[in-house]
Amino acid sequence: MSEPLLSPIGMLAELTHRCPLQCPYCSNPTELLKANREMDTQSWLDLFEQAADLGVLQVHLSGGEPTLRRDLEQLIAGLSARGVYTNLITAGVGIAEGRIEAFAEAGLDHLQLSFQGARTVTTEMIGNHRGSHEKKLETARRARAAGLPLTINAPIHRHNIEEVPEFIELALSLGAERLEIANVQYSGWALTNRDALMPDRAAVDCQAEIVEAARERLTGVMNIDFVTPDYFAIYPKPCMGGWARDAFMVAPDGMVLPCHAAQTIPSLSFERFGERTLAEIWIDSPAFNAFRGTDWMQEPCRGCERREIDWGGCRCQAMAIAGDPAATDPACVKSPIHARMANFIAAANSTESERTPESFVYRRIGVVTEPA
């Protein structure tokens, strides 16, 4: 490694893969874990204790749909007792009356609510769930009534990119402090559905202009985060802030990972919490150390002035497209295979029939799908 090992400050806890929605853009792995493989309450509480001891300051409670865990209030309370900031990432569908208030009472700090569309028909089509849009609106209202800060998350792809102005107005109408315009990143189920989800360049450029104008107009009113689409980028984003640099994630079965899609790299083996302590995994796991810092880098990354800005970009994307997790992220203009990104865009936009919702492979537990 080229820098001292930092303590992690952030953690993504995927409490379950179960979810009432079946979104085709989901970044969960295409082999989803069933409920009988999830860690129990005490194991999660033990993990959170060790995470706090290690220096973690914020935990994002995610899934799947984390509110399907009956012990969620207890998990939130455990983190709150250690002074750890908690953010609940939810689809907002099927939450029983009184639970949002119970989450707030347990110490929840923030709620992040996803909308598949700014329009009812889009939300129901993408999530493959009737009535979901109204349920989400009600969840947002209940969260605000409970005094919880609210972020609206809008995963953007070709089937809702024209709704970006409506997403902005929706977030404002719901009293959100923050809106995340998150262009879909192609891993898990999203990679399987890449051709059906990929927008065209004109739509992406138009979206960027709309977001920039809204940011300026709404300064001091609502923050708008913009997650740029990798396939249209010039330079890559630092994955998770850099591989195992200051954050990590835990899968429902306790597998500890540097990032969401790390298990797609076949040369790496990952460890489960309980087999070793969290500190042991963070400090000396071979998988965590594989791409830390800059010493592992090949050219052109090794000699690039951006090597400690983007930390080489996404290792999983390099694996998926270049076939080598140590390769320069193909999203980077300096990658020798950067042109493949434009080719993927062109191929996805060449056949209209393959870009319709009818071609979606919906996310379902028990269905194992190989990426296209």
Q: Is 239 marked as binding a ligand?
A: no
DSSP state of 265: -
Q: How many residues does the chain have?
A: 372
Q: Is 19 marked as binding a ligand?
A: yes
Asked if 167 contacts 182 with a C-beta cutoff of 8 angstroms, the reply is no
Q: Is 304 marked as binding a ligand?
A: no
Phi, psi angles (nearest 5°) of residue 153: -105, 125
Residues near 242 by beta carbon (within 8 Å), at least 6 away in sequence: 292, 311
Asked if 240 contacts 250 with a C-beta cutoff of 8 angstroms, the reply is no
Which strand (E) or helix (H) includes residue 134?
helix 132-145
Widest distance between CA atoms in the chain = 56
Percentage helix, strand, coil for the chain under 3-state DSSP, each rounded to 5: 40, 15, 50
Kindly list the distances between the CA atom of residue 42 and the CA atoms of 38, 69, 70, 229, in Å, as whole numbers in the listed order: 12, 13, 13, 38
Annotated binding site: 19, 23, 26
Q: Binding site for [4Fe-4S] cluster: which residues?
A: 19, 23, 26
